[in-house]
Amino acid sequence: MSMVPKRIMKEVERLNKDPVPGIEVDIVEGNIRYFNVIMAGPSQSPYEGGHFKLELFLPEEYPMSPPKVRFLTKMYHPNIDKLGRICLDILKDKWSPALQIRTVLLSIQALLSAPNPDDPLANDVAEQWKTNEKQAIQTAAAWTRKYASQ
């Protein structure tokens, strides 16, 4: 077993002691760099009532490079593609070592509340969001009921 960076241990301890509301984080047994995450859909969003599974992986270079995060639950969102990849600046060029797992999860949760169709990963969904937002929100809510209900 390699030395686990103190930083990761500290972040995990903080997540356990002071959990993020609406987000459960579990370490995958035997690998402190790999987490299963269950995120509750934010209230007042089409994802409300849903419980979304994500995987979060901390690469060797962490915290110099961002965590790898993706949704395992199928969802209808302009910034999340069919493979569950997430278009979020802090997971790409806006990453900073000052950010933490907690910040990343809060940012993803905020993205569910405020989709950004102008920076899409799923172009078809973004197009729907721009041309008929009401329909897009109804579809997102229907997918939430279908794929993210527990």
Residues 36, 33: Cα–Cα separation, whole Å: 10
Catalytic hit among 87, 104, 125, 141: 87
141-147 LR contacts (CB < 8 Å, sep 24+): 141/46, 141/47, 141/48, 142/76, 143/74, 143/75, 143/76, 144/41, 144/46, 144/47, 144/48, 144/49, 144/50, 144/75, 145/49, 145/50, 147/50, 147/73, 147/74, 147/75
Cα end-to-end distance, the chain, whole Å? 35
Residues 58, 131: Cα–Cα separation, whole Å: 37
Active-site residue, 114 included: no
Active site residues: 87
